[in-house]
Amino acid sequence: MSAVEKHRFENEKVRHKCDYCGKILSSKKSLDHHVNEIHLKLRNFVCENCGHSFTTKQRLNVHIVNIHQKIKNFTCDVCGKCFSYKNALDMHITTVHEKIKDHKCLECGKSFGIKSNLTKHINVVHLKIKEHKCEECGKFFTRKNKLMNHIDQVHLKIKDYKCEECGKLFGRKDYLMTHIDTVHLKLKKHECEECGKFFTRKNKLMNHIDQVHLKIKDYKCEECGKLFGQKFYLMIHIDAVHLKIKDLKCEECGKFFTGKSKLMNHIDQVHLKIKDYKCEECGKLFGRKDYLMTHIDVVHLKIKEHNCQECEKSFGFKQYLYKHNAIVHKKTKNTNAKSVANLLYKSVIS
């Protein structure tokens, strides 16, 4: 770099430095945008259709296209799903119906249906690239769109996706689609032939098969060596165990979670009351697999593993043991443990 160029570069650095956080921007326009969006939280672009406001015109346009226009002229002849662009339809057919995965990772041999997924895999799993930092909380992301989604949902609390059926708002489109599928359409059309469990989407079924039945674990934590069946499980593990991060908030009750799967399980079980686990013996449904297994053990297999230390009588539930001790032996146990056991007992029996 010449002396003139170096001088110009140093002047540019001083001229376009953020007074709030010290970040250096490449131009005054970028600096103004950064200050307005990150620090002042200015949202000057208002949607004329619904009144929602946005920090940039680009986000407003994306909102209008996704929420209000919803133009999808390209329909899949196999499953009927509609797309806004032909290349999106072609990619859907190639990856979902034809199962073509011709983009192979030379590092580990894993194959992908589209090149962008391979690139993302290499960057995240092998190169450990996380170059997009949130100025608000310091968390890093592999892609800019993930960073922007994080800012919208966690810091700006933006909910752009509205359910036309009941009016409920969501921060992400996939949350809205899951809500529509499970609450209004009651869709569970993808059945696992191995165990009979139903899923609302095919990718959820495939993930279930890979993790539960095939026991595939391709994602390794470089910190402790633990293996995972899905990349987001690995990321959840890293965030929760090694980085101690909890940034996923339930829009319904405000509770925070370390990973998307934990948040979705919470929403399914607590707010949507989804019960995917069915007892083949009596048909009873459960929201969690461990509840189903306890039900089978106690109700159908008659397993009694809770033994009384006073008289050696056995019970299927701790709740029964507590009651037995209180009535027969005049003993009481810890109130919290008793209430937890009582909740489990009610969920399995009732």
With a pLDDT cut of 90, the percent of the chain lying above it is: 0
Report d(CA 195, CA 193) in Å as an integer: 6
Q: Contact, 53 vs 43, CB < 8 A?
A: yes
Please identify which residue in the block is written with the tokens 């940039």.
56
Task: Check residue 70 and give its pLDDT.
Answer: 61
Q: Give the containing element (helix H, strand E) for 307.
A: strand 306-307
Q: Contact, 245 vs 258, CB < 8 A?
A: yes
Mean pLDDT, rounded, for 16-41: 73
| Alpha helix segments (H runs only) across the chain | 3-15, 28-34, 57-63, 86-92, 115-121, 144-150, 173-179, 202-208, 231-237, 260-266, 289-295, 318-328, 335-349
With a pLDDT cut of 70, the percent of the chain lying above it is: 78
Instruction: Return the higher-pLDDT residue of 48 and 222.
Output: 222
Counting Cα atoms < 13 Å in the Cβ hemisphere of 226 gives: 13
Report d(CA 223, CA 237) in Å as an integer: 10
pLDDT in tens, 136-175: 777 777 677 778 778 777 777 777 788 888 888 887 777 7
Confidence of residue 40 (pLDDT cuts 50, 70, 90): low
pLDDT in tens, 270-324: 877 777 778 888 888 887 777 788 888 888 888 887 888 888 788 877 778 888 8
How many CB atoms are closer than 10 A to CB 158? 21
Mean pLDDT, rounded, for 231-243: 76
Residue from 237, 230, 236 nearest 215 by CA: 230
Task: Answer yes or no: is pLDDT of 332 > 70.
Answer: no
Intra-chain end-to-end CA distance of the chain, in Å: 76
Task: Answer yes or no: is pLDDT of 129 > 70.
Answer: no
CA distances, 326 to each of 5, 70, 329, 333 (Å): 84, 62, 6, 8
CA distances, 39 to each of 35, 232, 275, 343 (Å): 5, 30, 43, 45
Q: Is the pTM of this model over 0.85?
A: no
Report d(CA 232, CA 261) in Å as an integer: 8
